[in-house]
Structure formats: C-alpha cells, structure tokens
Amino acid sequence: MERRKRRLFVRGEYFDYTLLLVVLFLVAFGLVMVYSTSSYKSILIHEYPYYWLIRQAAFALGGVVGMLIVSRMDYHIWKTWTIPLWFSMWILQVLVMAFGKEVNGSRRWLGVGSLTIQPSEVAKLSLILVMAHCIVAYLPKLRQFKFLILFFLVVAGPVIVLVGAENMSTSMILFMIAGVMIFVAVPGYKQFLSIIGAGGALVLILLKTQAYRMERIQIWRDPTSTPKGYQTLQALYAIGSGGIFGKGLGQSMQKMGFIPEAYNDMIFSVVCEELGLFGALCVITLVLILVYRCVIIAYHAPDLYGSLIVIGAMTHISVQVLMNMAVVTNTMPPTGIPLPFISYGGTSIVFLLLEIGIVLSISRQIRLSKQENL
Amino acid sequence: MYLHNSHIRKKTALYVAIILLGFTAVTIHLIYLMIGSSEYYRKEALELHQREREIKAPRGVIYDRNGIPLAANKPVCTVSVIHSQLEEPERVIRILAKQLELDEETVRKKVEKVSAREKIKNNVARNVGEKIRGYHLAGVMVDEDYRRWYPYSTLFSRVLGFTGSDNQGIVGLEVEYDSQLQGKSGNILTLTDARGVEIANAGEEREEPVAGRALYTSLDYNIQRYASQACEKTWKKKEAKSVSMVIMNPKNGEIYAMVNLPEYDLNDPFTLIGDVDTDNLTAKEKQDRLNQMWRNYCINDTYEPGSIFKIVTATAALEEKVVSVNDYFSCPGFRIVEDRRIRCHKAGGHGQETFREGIMNSCNPVFIDVGLRLGAANAYKYYRKLGLFETTGIDLPGEANSIMHKPDKIGAVELATMSFGQSFQITPMQLLRAAGAAINGGTLVTPHFGVKIVDENSGKEKKLNYPKKTGAVSPETSALMRELLEAVVAEGGGNKAYIEGYRIGGKTATSQKLPRGNGKYISAFLGFAPADDPTVMGIVLIEEPKGVYYGGTIAAPVMREMFEMILPYLGIEPQAVTKEKNK
C-alpha cells in the first residue's frame, strides 16, 4: 500500500455498481414517497404540491453528485481530517445546545435563516471516519481493556453524551457505530460483554431518570392508553390497513393529516399502507442487499482503515433502518429516527450519500486477485 | 487480501446475524399487523376516515279532506361545530350563545369538546342560521333542515299529535302513520382528512333520501274550526273540565272533526297548558301531566255512557221483538229491582207511557223493563254485534276498550242498570260507532281519519280501506230507530237540538262520573242528520260542567249550533218538514 502514490482521485479495478444502484433506487423511491406523503399537506399550506419534494430532490441531487465525486477520491485523504472532525463533532453539538433551533420540542438544528443543518446527522459520518483512523492507529494497545475503555470515552464519548442530551436515539446509533467498529477490530469477545452491560445500564438509567421516556414505554405497551400514543396508533392504522399489496401508490388515507408529518420519521407506515406487506418487504430486501454489499466490500477492502469505514457505514444504516422500522411498527418504544434515504431531511440524505460515496471509493480500490469474483 | 480468516470477518458476520435477527423480528411483526390484524386496522381506519352525513327526508304532509295541510314542514337550521376547524373558539362561543339564546357555559362545553362534530342546536330559525353563516366563523356549520310545523297550532292537537326531535311521531296520527310519513333519510359517506374536511374526488357513497308519503285524512279544517268554536263557547260558559266532540260520517266512518278541549299547542307540545307552576313538579309529575294533556278523551278514556246507551238497548229490544213501539209502560219515578230501588230522573215519574214516549222521555223504568225482557244473553249478543266488545279500530294509537260485566255475573240489577247505560264503561268512540250502526241501516263501520296515502313525487296513491260489517241490525229496526230518535229531538228530551227545516235525530245523556254521588257529571248529546238518511252524526261530551248539567239542556244546544253551521256546509239542504209529520 505504501508503495502506491497518493493522489486525490483514483481509478480502480473494481466498482460496486450493485451498491450504487441499490442506493440510487432507494433515493428515487424516497423521493416518490416524500411526494406521496407531503403533497396533500403542501397543497394545504403552500398551495402547490411540490414544496417538500423540490427541497428533498435538491438535497438528493446534491448528495448524489457529492457521492459520485467522493467515490472517485482516495479514501485515505480522510485521515488528514481526523482531528478537525473529532473537534467538530462535539463543538457543533455544543453550538446546537446553545444556539440551536427548536423544532417540535427538540433542539436539533443549527443554521442561519432557511439554511439549517442537523449536526447529529453530520456526527454519524464524522464518528465513522474518526473511529476508523484511531482504531487503526492504536490497534495493538486496544487489546488492553483499560485502554479500550479510555479510548472509547475519549474518541466517541463526548459526542455520544452531548447528542444524547437532546436526542437519545441518535446517541444510541452513535454508540452502536463506535461499539461495533471497536468490537470488530479488536480480537476477543469477553471485554465487550462489559461494554454492552455498561451501555445497557446507561440506557436504563436514562429511562428511569427521565419521565418522558417512561411514558414512551407506556405508549409502546398500549398506544391507546395515552393521548401521546396518537402518532404510533395512526402509524399502526396505516400499516394494518395496507394489507398484503397495499392501497396503491398515492392512495394512503393516513397521510391526509392523520399521521403528522408523514414524510418524516413515520414515512415507512405510509409505504406499508400504499404498497402493502409486499412493498415493505421490498424495502427491507433492498436494505439487506445494501448491507450485504457493504460486508463484501469490508471483507475485500485494501486495508483495515477501509474495512472499518465500511463496517461503520453498514452499522449506521442497518441500525437506523431497523430502529426506524421497529418504532413505526411499534416493535420498540417510539423515538424520532428518520428512515435512511427515504424520510424527508436534507442533512440526513446528503451525509448518507457522502457516506455511501466513501464506501464506493473504498470498493474502487479493491484489488481483484485472479480467482476472486465479487 | 489482508483479511483472510481474520477475526474481523467472524465478528462482522456475527453483527450481521444479529441485525438479521432484528429484521426478522420486524418482518414477523409486519406480517402480524398487515395480515393478522389487517381487518381490524382497516375497519378502525375507515371509521376514522369516513364521515356519515345524514340527508334528512322531508316528512310527509298531513292534509285535510280538501287538501289543506294540517301538518307541514318548516325549513330550519342545525348549527354544529367541527372542533378541528375552529380558529377563534372564544368568538364562536360568544356569537353562538348570543344568536342561539343559549348561556355561554352550555355553548362552551359543546364547543370545547374534542369531537369530530358537535351539534350545538337544532330547529334554529332560518334567518338566525343565515345570520350565523354571515359571520363566516371557521369550524361552524349551519345545515339546512326541516322541522315539523303545524299551521293551526292548537286545532286538531289531540288527533294529529306531534313529532320528536328526530322527526319521529310521538302521539296521534303522527305515530300511527309514522312509517308512511317518515320516509327514509339518505346518507352521504365521505372520506375526510384529519381536520374533518372532505377529500375532493375521493368518491362518495350516496344514498338518496326517500321523502315521506303524504297522508290525506277525512278531517275537515272548516268543520273542525266550527266544532272547536262551538265547544269552546260551552267550555268557557260551563267552566267545564273538558269538552269533546266527534263529527263522523255514519255511512263510512270518516271522521270530519274531533275536538278535545282544552287543546294544546302542537308547535310547543312540551309546555303544559294553563297556569301551571312547573317548577314545583318532579320530572315524573310533569311527564304525567303532559301525557294527560296529550290524551284524546274520545278514544283513550272510558266512561259510563248513560242515557245515550238507551239507543243500543232499544235497538236490541226492537230487533229481538221483545218490545214494540206502542207497548205501554208505567213509570212511578222508580223501579224496584230485586232489593234495589232504581230512580228515574223525573222524581214524580212519567206515569203511563208508550215505549216511544219512554225513549223521548229517556225514562229509566221503561228501559229497565225492556232490558229485563231482553235478558243478559240477548243484550250481550247485540253489544257484540254493535262492536262494544272490541276497540273501534280507529287509526289512532292507545285506543281503550270497554269494561263490561262478566256474562255469568249479570244479575237483574246489573241488567237493569246496563239497559240505561250504567255499571259498565265504553269509550265515546265505541258509543258513536254502535249508535252509527243502529241508525245507518245496520252497518258497523270502522271510524277513521286516514283516507289515502300519496307519494307526492310519483303521484302514486294508496287508498286506505277499513272493514265494514253489515247486518248488525236489520234495516227495518234501523229505520225505526231513526224515526224514534228523530222524535226525541223533535218533541222529546233532545228538543234543544232541533233546527227548523232539518230532520235531526239524537239522544241526550247525563252520566254520573264515578264514584257515583260525587256530584260530577258528563253531559252529552249524540245527534245525526238528516234523520231519514243520516250523512253526518256527532257526539258532544261536556265533562264536569258547572251549574246545570243536563245533557238535554247544555249538550244538545252545542250540537244544534254545530249542525246549523255544518249542515249547509256539507250541502244538506233544509227540508220542508214539520214537527207534526212524525207524530
């Protein structure tokens, strides 16, 4: 590897077109669903149906362009960004807590005027890149348990805690990303059991100390028992009334204001309502293909740094999709997580696509041996 | 490849396996939700999305015999509030309370209730509805509606009855013909969004309302008005508790008028008439009084018919030939039957008299003799033939039936008292019907109001038919009865009903109200005209008159006044007859 000359852009022997196609399909499908779920509200408020679609399409287009550019870059250049990224992660978070815009009771947005970003979405990609580099750099020492803990607390700890103050679900995703990356990189299983235990204990403490989280448990057990279960109940109506093949694209009734902001976190329920179990399983299958391609790329990446970035990205996407679907179907207590690629949200889709761009750039640098056929 | 057989591959695979497990769990839950509970959620969701809007069917109009509407529909408004569309609840509460004349707390409770649609008030006058609409309040709906309306308010009140808030008949003809009048309300099933706003192009299911059918009655607005006026005069003059009158065509049972004074306001049927302090009444007491107010004494209540019933006894005796018109009787002013001394109304007695004179004098001893000659079995045979053991079948709800002695309990005393109309009870309607059969040639008709049901959209008519039983008595006996009863009016106790130039038959009665001896009476007169071929007959009952209470003195003039007005109206011309003719 060292003998290769560092260039900004690389030409590889391989490129994972399957992953690219799956992601492009998910993004396109997401735009269709955002249009389907937002047009009614858009007509009511803005008197034309495309308000949310146009915004989302603009971000998606920018994201795809960004993804294609990044996919041609040598992913090693991200190593030079590790320290600024580490600082930016939690500084942005502190800024959000100080000056953030509050929407729907959560302070998650930062920005001027209509240009806002959600730093917690940025943090996911940053954390993946920072963790990958740091793990590679300190791998031998990470075999010591004490160092492992210290490492985790210093590299991932600040951002997890700061994000967790406002947004527990994103904090859990960050924790999962960092945790899985270390778990995969460092040999041995025993030491991780204690980390899992600590994580579980932390979640329990957060649940017990914050009353509104206990309320969520109540919603999960029986959405009809509390007025706060309204959204969950509406999502269940949507999912249940979809049946096997759904009502047909665009035919959702629940998006007519019954599910508030149906184009956001709850969009999967409208997918279920319009396209049925069949459509839902198609989306799950696409995500699983994406995960599978990530595993393949991770296995064949030219170095551990590349592998870890791909594993981080795969963890991010798979955990977030799973949590979103679990929330929408009331398989777990409700919390606000967007469905990757499909839910409305500019920051989310741009940084997800950049993340995929990096994964693609790693796939581009895979060197195929004669026998291998990916 | 740096990664061959490393722990990284194994651990990645482990992670993927765990994630797959998670997706499996979600998939299983999805299958459960979307196949297992699909029906449940589909139904729940539809309930949430679908709004049913009722389209009220206009209720059928009730007409009199000349096509004058007696019960019609008045356009009104229903004011309701759609909670999710409210923008200025405070203003809405203030304006609605003021315009609808409700107190603010009541309105506030309804406005602030989280419901899809809350009715604030119905039966709001159209102009008030228009005013509210003029404010353009978001979330306030003013829907047009119909309200039952009775143009003549008190006239016919105990016959027509009225409707409840859901347009359903509550008493009277309104309930008897409810299924015809009511029609079927239609429905619009629409899909609405979360705010309750109907979704355009969502395709609504519509079920058109079917208008109620019109009822044409035999009632006559003019005759009813005459009857009402005649009764009211007496009601006031005699300070009577009530005055009732029925005017009927004895040939077919069509009722032209039915008055029960005091009448109540059909447009305000829940307000007690008279100066009643309703505040001190319990809900039950008030309801009892209302029920009393809504009663139709002519058919809902029984009484001892008294001397008018002598028509039945005479008819039976003549038909059975146990007496002939010129048989002689003697009246010492009383008759001893077994151990009882039964008095005649004339204390000194009528002395020697024929049966004919006995009827004209309404002499009790004559009828006691005739009744005893007739015997219980024969008496009951004719009671039955004249319909006294059955309800008349009139098309009004709640008709009462007669209260008679058991056949095996009839001794001489019972038989004696029955023969002049005491010791049993019938309704005035039963009496009128029986007397009708006695004078119309022997046909037992079914008194009724409904003549035909008309579907006013298609013009389709359905004539209402009522059973008629002929041969209750022979035509000869009937002719004889007409002649005898004409004599009662021409020269006997009913002479105050006589009208120069008309042949009028009739019989008076002064019944004691039970318990006997309480000093309360019902004075009555039953009359018919023309006496040789009656086309109209009537009965008037004055309950608890003050002062003079003899039927011949106070009830007969009421019927005369009535006949004076309605005989020309009915096209019955005066005939050149003299009193002497029937002597």
- Answer yes or no: is pLDDT of B500 > 70: yes
Q: What is the mean pLDDT of residues B266-277?
A: 82
β-bridge pairing B62-63 and B214-217:
parallel
Q: Do A277 and B40 count as a contact with CB atoms less than 8 A apart?
A: no
Looking at residue B412, its amino acid is A
pLDDT of B3 reads: 61
In the prediction, which pLDDT does B504 show? 93
What confidence score (pLDDT) does residue B220 get? 95
A277 and B23: CB-CB below 8 Å? no
The overall pTM is greater than 0.95: no
How far is it, in rounded angstroms, from Cα B570 to Cα A18? 100
Residue B394 · residue B159 · CB < 8 Å: no
pLDDT band at B202 (very low <50, low <70, confident <90, very high): low
Q: Minimal CA–CA distance to B427: which of B535, B334, B538, B305?
A: B305
Indicate which of A142, A186, A241 best probes the interface with B, i.e. most B CBs within 10 Å of its own CB. Answer: A241
Task: Give A178's contacts in chain B (Cβ within 8 Å).
Answer: none
Distance between first and last Cα of chain A = 21
Class of domain B298-582: alpha beta
Averaged pLDDT for residues A275-286: 93
How many CA atoms within 13 Å lie on the side-chain side of B348? 1
Q: Residue B25: its chain A contacts at CB < 8 A?
A: 326, 331
- Taking 70 as the threshold, does the pLDDT of residue B576 lie above it? no
* pLDDT higher than 70, residue A127: yes
Can you read off the two tokens belonging to residue A76? 């090693």
- What pLDDT is recorded for position A44? 80
In this predicted structure, what is the pLDDT of residue B523? 93
Give the pLDDT band of residue B92 (cuts 50, 70, 90): confident
pLDDT (0 to 100) of residue B581: 45
Distances (CA, A) of B551 to B62, B310, B556: 34, 14, 6
Please determine, for residue B339, whether its predicted confidence score (pLDDT) is greater than 50.
yes
A48 pLDDT exceeds 50? yes
How far is CA B479 from its chain centroid? 34
Which is catalytic among the residues B80, B157, B307, B523? Answer: B307
**Rounded distance between C-alpha atoms, residue B13 and residue A187, angstroms:** 14
| Best CA proximity match to A243, nearest among A270, A275, A276, A271 | A276
pLDDT of B26-46, one tens digit each?
Answer: 999 999 988 888 888 888 888
CB B340 within 8 A of CB B413: yes
Q: Is the pLDDT of residue A374 over 70?
A: no
In this complex, which of B16, B34, B45 lies closest to A272 when CB atoms are compared? B34
Q: Residue A305 belongs to what H/E stretch? A: helix A304-328
**Interval B472-479 mean pLDDT:** 93
Q: What pLDDT was estimated at residue B164?
A: 85
User: How far is Cα B516 from Cα B510, in angstroms, rounded to an integer?
Assistant: 13
Q: Is A226 inside a domain boundary?
A: yes
- Rounded Cα distance between B556 and B262, Å, is 20
pLDDT score, position B200: 63
State the Cα–Cα distance between residues B362 and A365, nearest whole angstrom: 130
Q: Read off the pLDDT band of A252 (50, 70, 90).
A: confident
Whether the Cβ atoms of residue B40 and residue A240 lie closer than 8 Å to each other:
yes
Q: Which domain holds residue A264?
A: 17-364
Helix ranges restricted to H, B89-197: 89-100, 104-112, 126-134, 157-160, 172-176, 178-182
pLDDT for B79 equals 87
Residue A236 belongs to a domain: yes
**What is the per-residue pLDDT for B420?**
92
| pLDDT at residue number B404 | 93
Most confident of A162-171, B108-117, B250-259: B250-259
Least confident of A370-374, B250-254, B307-311, B547-551: A370-374
pLDDT for position B583: 39
What pLDDT is attached to residue B578?
52
pLDDT of amino acid A106: 64
Please check whether residue A6 lies inside any domain of the structure: no
pLDDT at A1: 44
pLDDT of residue B486: 93
Min Cα separation B201/chain A (Å): 12
- Contact B33/A240, CB-based, under 8 Å? yes
Q: Domain ranges in chain B?
A: 7-50, 52-184+205-217, 298-582
Structure tokens at B217: 């009655």
Chain A residues touching residue B20 (CB < 8 angstroms) = 288
Question: Does a structural domain hold residue A12?
Answer: no
Does residue A5 lie in a domain region? no
Domains contained in chain A, number: 1
Distance from CA of B132 to the nearest CA of A (A): 26
* Residue B582 pLDDT > 50: no
Q: Judge whether residue A213 has pLDDT over 90.
A: no
Residue A352 predicted with pLDDT over 80? yes
pLDDT of residue B538: 95
Residue B207: which pLDDT band, with cuts at 50, 70 and 90? confident
Does residue A279 belong to any structural domain of this protein? yes
Distance, in Å, from the CA atom of A362 to the CA atom of A78, rounded to the nearest integer, reads 12
Which residue type is seen at A39?
A: S
Residue A23 sits at the vertex; the CA angle it makes with A20 and A25, to the nearest 5 degrees, is 105
The whole-number pLDDT of residue A284 equals: 95
pLDDT level of residue A7 (50, 70, 90 thresholds): low
Judge whether A169 and A335 are in contact, CB under 8 Å: yes
- Per-residue pLDDT of A253-267, as tens digits, reads 888 878 888 888 899
- Give domain status of residue A372, yes or no: no
Secondary structure of A237-287 as H, E, C letters: HHHHHHCCCCCCCCCCCCCCCCCCCCCCCCHHHHHHHHHHHHHHHHHHHHH
More confident residue, B369 or B347: B369
Within a domain: A1: no
Please report which confidence band the pLDDT of residue B466 belongs to, taking 50, 70 and 90 as the band edges.
Answer: very high
pLDDT of residue B152: 93
Architecture of domain B52-184+205-217: Alpha-Beta Complex (3.90)
What mean pLDDT comes out for the span B44-56? 76
Query: Which residues, 6 or more positions from A122, have their beta carbon under 8 angstroms from its beta carbon?
Result: A88, A89, A92, A347, A351
Q: What is the mean pLDDT of chain B?
A: 88
Average pLDDT over residues A292-309: 91
Task: Give per-residue pLDDT as tens, B160-193.
Answer: 999 987 778 899 999 999 999 988 887 777 777 7
Put simply, the chain A residues between 161 and 190 with a CB less than 8 A from any chain B CB are 180, 183-185, 187
Q: Cβ contacts (< 8 Å) between B44 and chain A: which residues?
A: 237, 240
pLDDT band for A129, please (50, 70, 90 cuts): very high
ipTM of the shown complex: 0.91
Nearest residue to B522 via CA among B225, B306, B354? B306
